[in-house]
Structure 1
Amino acid sequence: MTLLNAFLIVLKMSFLGTIAAIIILLIKKIFKNKISASCHYLIWMILLLRLIVPYCPESSVSVYNFFTNHNYGTEEIQSPVINNVGHNDIHSNNIQSGVNPSAQKDLSTSLYSTKDGKQELANKIEPSIFNSLQNQRPYTFSDYTYDSNKDKFQAPYIAAIIWLLGTCLGGLYILWLQVSYSIKISKFELCNDRNITAIYEICRSKMKVRKEIPLVMDTSIKTPSLLGIFYPKILLPSDYVERLTEEEFKFVFMHELSHYKRKDIILRWLLIFLQILHWFNPVIWFAFNIIRQDSEKACDEQVLSYIEPSEYKKYGNTMLKMLDIFSGYNSIYGAAGMIDRKKLITERVKNIVNFKKNYVLWSVAGVVIFSVLAVFLLTNARQPVQEVVKIKYEAEKIIPNTEMGVLGRMKLLSNEHLLTYDMQNRRLMTIDDGGNKKEIHCEGLPQDFRLQLFTADAKDAIYIFDGSAEPKIYVFNLEGEKIKEMQVELKDVDPSEMHAVLQWDMKVDSKGNIYLLIPQLQTQQASTQVFDPEGKHIKTLKSDGYVCVELDAEDNLYTIAWENRIVITKQNPLTGEIFWQYEAENNLSYVRNAAYSKQDQSLYLVELNSNSVSKFDL
């Protein structure tokens, strides 16, 4: 994952988190005094999950659907007939328009220029793909991948560097503070006042806290706090010993032990980590500040559940008294303290004095609110339906009177000659634009070898697959000279499937890695086995349904699978990273062939059950 990838993911999560935070704040405002402080605190967990989990399930009820443009358009347009054009005019890697731009009209009226009553061919594509549109508006996939060849001084990349610097500086600052605090706190003395420790033990027993949490005292401590995840400590200012009564100490200890029971320290550190990642987002900072305040209110509510109603006012008075002797704000990051800003203390005391146990109805309401918000905010928007422009086509012979038998597979070479195989006469040959044929006699093939599967790489090396008992791949140049021969380590292939090699497919990427698509007809599945240039098995990619595959200019693999619906997946076949996946519901039928265009970076799909070609702008 590149720096820009990480930055865009964080930026997206921050945006979604901002929406979630605003909605949560509005809900809290509406139900301010209706639901308990614990419910207010619990609702914030939705925001934290939204900021932690990068991927959530899609839903039609997600609130994020309001921020997604949906495009459901499907368009069908009749294309011209292809009249006796050479195959070098039909090239998926060099799609160009023969139309004068000034002569082009609106898409709905004219797609191609006319001359002498005949329509000129507007696009050049591979033989299996007969036509496509020049000015259509296909859906653009946004997969957050970064092209390292692009200018690294673009604004997004600079923003990513600034974000990384801010994150590193924030992390180093927090680390420095914690190391300083740890060294300082290690020198503090344990509380040896028997009266205080006796009160503390009573509180610990009453609240059923089994863990031994030491009491630490020092004059430099600003306010009582709980600190530490694995080795927690309760910090006490030495000045409080003479100023607080035993009952007031009881309230202090119960508040800090409530923080421990609620695991608030873990949450505090999670907030710090997320705040470092989202340091650029003021809404997240504001929301986190409210979370800390709600944490204190929820802690107060838990303390009140352990004391008598007659003690509520005393607990509030203890907080006011501590505020009077409070010497400053607790600056220890990750600590959970009892005293905070004066305005918040006043609000908390009012809540304590007016505290009443919530009715069952409002407790249920709190759970319902949490559940509804989780459904709306912890789901992503449904991906908009792909706009597919279906192009009707008709075809005529592009190379008439070739005087050959049945042609097998065809592959366009870099010189725009057509590489094909005459299955009847068992001849591998090239054909130029004028229909002139040149046979290729491949030296070294087994006697009576029947060629069923072949392809060519970007350098016009011919790869021929031999599906015998010991599968091999032969590599030849265009003169028929053998370049190399390699054993292929096929994995988990049923011997009965070796008789259906004609239905297999083979691709070769720019590095010489070989991709063998092997349909498993009995199970309606397929596997794409990947081999290195020496034929060694690298990995196997599994797919459900009937499949065809295609490689783009960057060796990304497009898997087009059909099982009740078309599923198109773009992935890095070697690392396994999936960039995106698109599911067509009703607007594509079974795809029998696919071709990639380097020039306009599009994928063309030929459908079996309809006379049309579909173009996907990638």
Structure 2
Amino acid sequence: MDILIRSFLCFFRDSITASIAGLLIILILKLFDKHISVRLQHALWIIVVIRLIIPVEFQSNLSLLNLLHENHQNSSNIENKSTIKSMTYAASDFLREGKIQYSYTSKNQISKVNQSPSKIVYSRENIIKEYITSRILGIASFIWIVGVFSIAAFLSAVRLQFKRKILNLEEVRDLESIKLLNECKNKVNITRDIPVYICDNFKSPCTLGIIKPKVYIPKCVCTKNNLKQLYYIFLHELIHYKRMDLVYNFLAVLAVILHWFNPIVWFCMKRMKLQRECACDTYVLEIIGEEKAEDYGMTLINFSKLVSSNKVPRLAVFFETKNQIKRRIEMIKNFKKGSYKMSAAAVICCVLASGAILTTAVNAKSMKAYKTAAVVSSNNSSVKNQNSKFLIDAPIKYYDNLKRAEEVTGFKVKVPDYIPTKYVLASIHVIKVSDTDNSLEVSFSKKDGVFNFQASKVDMEQCLKQIAEDQSKGKVEVNKEAMNLEGINGYNITIKRTLPMGYNYKIIDKCFIWQNEGVWYSIGYSIETQRKENKSSTIGIPIDDVGKIATSIKYDQDVKNVSYSIPKDVSTEVATLPIYDKEDLKKAKELLGFNPKFPLSINKNITIKGSLVGISGDSDIKNKKIGYELGTFYNLKNGLLVFTQGKSSKAYDDMSKKANTIKIDGKEVLKYETYEKSVANKQLKEDIYVWKENGFYCEVSIMANIANQDEIVKGFVDSKPID
């Protein structure tokens, strides 16, 4: 199913890009029709067809997909996937990458947006939304592939039926007709034998067959009285072969099959067919000359009067509707010698159009990460050593004390010894800037205010810009100007984030940055929110306080007035300890009171996503009877999987009354099936497995329709506690 969804998203992305390109081409042709040769017009449609049938992945700044991703580059951020609206932006990643991504979730837990890192709150509803999204994608993909096969089967049946009808057709053997055909072949430099058949079922000439082409003409045409018309017909059909129109038409049919759900594609392919006929007419006129244009036009008109049925195969027909005949007659009337030639400017236009349509959007996030690493990367090798120790290398890591955060960043930092009145330490976290560099950020807050202090070995301007782009889905602009505060020479950085459509506001961050003993520092002192209704609000600290904070920075051991250790908030909704490396696992053992299992992967499709220690739901907080449990979350195709471990037997006791007991690798496991109501009031199935270990209990919760659930659970049962 995952391959099917990826394929659907890939073609859906291409369908959007090609549709935009097609509509632009139609607009351009409407405005500049008389100034663009028919051959160039047809060439532009060929580029659209190629985009529709070939999932090209070459990145280019010219790509039309850049328009889609300019405002939605980072829609895969974990925090921003917790609402239905944000899933719209996640679709932008689907279109670019052609793959599905799931956020960090548990069966009843998911991080809220912009929540203080020390208080990560969770909601089961968001997990159900993610599950619904994956189910919708699965259903849509299934409908798409059924449509593809249905249309392909129908066209194949029509093709087979037609082949049966033409088995006994009479080949043209008339000497004058053969002589005329050979003359036309010499005119267009064709040496291949292309037979001509008489078919009474057709009221218009056509050419069929890519590998073995054959020309089919009505019987009424093959008379001595119609040799002039027959000459034009042969010439026209042979030029279809010469121009490879049969191949282009096959590709257009294939594009319609793959993109049957998109009416714009059907319309564009119809326009392409008309341009193909016009280009063929122009080629004919180049050969026969302007003086015979009127005779050629009359041939079209005479045949248009004969058409009265739709039984003609629509592959390379001589003409189609009255409007198209009118368009072609106008082109023939205004024909000038040289109309078929492609100028240098036309070739350049095709090259540029190919760059815009055939390439995919530049992955700005990876490009900027590369640029930052290349331009401002640190030479500090201790970070590399530290990064290699991560079991879960999250882009933002939360810690409860400064010393631990410094160990992760790989360098010593100075921190403020002064903060404004009523402000308290809110969070300490490490932000991954590149594969080798980290930035340490400390947030301070009060009831109606907040400011951030940040340290980095890499250039702070580049660091702040990349972080803003990574954490935002909108456009980011950066302005820099020199500033001196309290004798410190630095810069004032203004970062303007335009959030994508649907949020209706902009965010303007202001920071003072400077360098001290080889380390860059930043104080984010103002956050302004501008709404479209001309309403704005600003939180932060006065510029005078920024100078005081900047001049007060000291190493942690010398700080006397500020505590850099976050007190624990006792709540069942709070993540007590996120786990990233073996040091965190060591602390987790102490809190849990046992050595937990910690499998990093079960198979190639089920790998660890995140893990944290929290207070168990049956803890008696008022009486200070606290229990802890470890929740570990895994990537699972089209669903969710959570592995929970704790000393509490409540879940096991509750399930033993209603669950079935099964044997998994010799161990007794309770298995229970339950249903959760989704936001759309649909019932979502959840399978829960619970078993005893030596001194603790384990639970695996699976919310997905997969056939090998017991085998997956076996992987957790067989896994060993950590050393």
Give the TM-score category using the shorter length: 0.5 to 0.7
Return the offset for 1:37. Answer: 0.9
Contact 1:223 1:237 in 2 (8 A): yes
1:494-505 aligned within 5 A = none
| Mapped contact 1:418–1:430 kept (Cα < 8 A) | no
Matched, 1:205 2:186: yes
Contact kept, 8 Å, 2:39 with 2:340, in 1: the verdict is no
Q: Which residue is equivalent to 1:433?
A: 590
**Match of residue 347 from structure 2:** 367
Correspondence for 1:45: 46
Letter in 2 for 1:296: E
Query: 1:59 offset after TM fit, Å?
Result: 3.0
**Residue matched to 1:245:** 226
Displacement of 1:24 in angstroms is 1.4
Aligned partner (choices 199, 217, 220) of residue 198 of structure 2 = 217
**What amino acid maps onto 2:116 in structure 1?**
L
In 2, the alpha carbon distance for the partners of 1:40 and 1:392 equals 61
User: Which residue matches 1:261?
Assistant: 242
Distance 1:182 1:302 in 2: 30
Task: Quote the residue 2:172 is aligned against.
Answer: 191
Q: Partner letter of residue 179 of structure 1?
A: L
Q: How does 1:353-392 map to 2 (within 5 A)?
A: 353-358=333-338, 363-385=343-365
Partner of 1:14: 15
Gaps of 5+ in 2: 76-103, 123-127, 370-394, 406-577, 608-631, 638-699, 702-723
Mapping 1:24-173, distance limit 5 Å? 24-68=25-69, 69-70=71-72, 111=116, 122=118, 150=131, 154-173=135-154
| CA pair 417-65 structure 1, distance change in 2 beyond 3 A | closer
Indicate conservation of the 8 Å contact 1:35/1:363, yes or no. no
Range that drifts further, 9-18 or 291-300: 9-18
Partner of 2:214: 233
Cα distance, 1:435 vs structure 2 = 12
Query: d(CA) in 2 for partners of 1:329 and 1:93?
Result: 56
Deviation at 1:227, TM superposition (A): 0.6
The DSSP-based 3-state class of the residue aligned with 2:277 is: helix
Letter in 2 for 1:301: T
Preserved contact between residue 198 and residue 217 of structure 2 (Cα < 8 Å): yes
Partners in 2 of 1:185 and 1:348 — Cα distance? 30
Report whether the alignment pairs 1:300 with 2:288.
no
Work out the CA distance in 2 between the residues paired with 1:370 and 1:337: 26
Residue 202 of structure 2 aligns to which amino acid in structure 1?
I
Distance 1:243-1:197 versus aligned 2 partners, 3 A rule: closer
Tell me if structure 2 keeps the 8 A contact 1:219–1:238. yes
Counterpart residue identity of residue 158, structure 1 = I
Aligned residues: 379
Shift of 1:225: 0.6
Note closer, same or farther for the CA distance 1:184–1:346 as it changes in structure 2 (3 Å cut): same
- State the alpha-carbon separation in 2 of the partners of residues 417 and 280 from structure 1: 45
Instruction: Please state whether the residue corresponding to 1:58 is helix, strand or coil.
Output: coil
SS state of the match for residue 319, structure 2? Answer: coil
CA contact (8 A) 2:39 2:342 kept: no
Structure number with higher helix proportion:
2
2:255 aligns with 274
Q: What is the distance in 1 between the residues matched to 2:580 and 2:221?
A: 91
Alignment partner of 1:349 is 2:441: no
TM-score by length of 1: 0.53
Given that 1:320 and 1:345 are in contact with CA atoms closer than 8 Å, whether structure 2 keeps it comes out as yes
Out of 56-65 and 29-38, give the one that drifted further: 56-65
Q: Distance in 1 between matches of 2:146 and 2:291?
A: 54
Q: Name structure 1 gaps, 5 residues minimum.
A: 74-91, 113-121, 124-132, 136-146, 399-415, 422-428, 439-455, 460-507, 516-550, 557-597, 600-618
Cα separation, 1, equivalents of 2:234 and 2:140: 46
**CA gap 1:246/1:437 in 2 versus in 1, 3 angstroms:** closer
In structure 1, distance between residues paired with 2:202 and 2:107: 73
> How far apart are 1:94 and its partner, in Å?
9.0
Q: 1:395 offset after TM fit, Å? A: 4.3
CA contact (8 A) 2:38 2:340 kept: no
Identity %: 24
Q: Which amino acid aligns with 1:8?
A: L
Q: Following TM superposition, by how much is the alpha carbon of 1:326 offset from its aligned partner in structure 2, in angstroms? A: 3.4
TM superposition shift of 1:337: 1.8
| Structure 2 counterpart of 1:365, one-letter code | A
User: Alpha carbons of 1:340 and 1:436: their partners in 2 closer, same or farther (altered >3 Å)?
Assistant: closer
Cα deviations by residue, 1:178-222 (Å, 9 ceiling, x for unpaired): 001111111111112221111111111221111111110022222
Residue 287 of structure 1: which of 254, 258, 268 is its match?
268
Equivalence map 1:413-432=2 (5 Å): none
> Paired residue for 2:716?
none
CA contact (8 A) 2:73 2:364 kept: yes
Cα distance in 2, alignment partners of residues 45 and 157 from structure 1:
31
Deviation at 1:339, TM superposition (A): 2.3
Q: Do the aligned residues in 1 keep the contact of 2:205 with 2:318 (CA within 8 Å)?
A: yes
Give the equivalent residue in structure 2 for 1:510. 602
Q: Which moved more, 1:376-385 or 1:14-23?
A: 376-385
Distance in structure 2 (CA, Å) of the matches to 1:306 and 1:211? 19
Any conservation in 2 of the 1:329–1:340 contact (CA below 8 Å)?
no
Instruction: Name the CA distance, whole Å, in 1 between partners of 2:301 and 2:361.
Output: 47
162 and 430 in structure 1: CA distance in 2 versus 1, 3 angstrom threshold: closer
Distance in 2 between the 1:418 and 1:180 partners?
64
RMSD between superposed Cα atoms in Å = 4.5
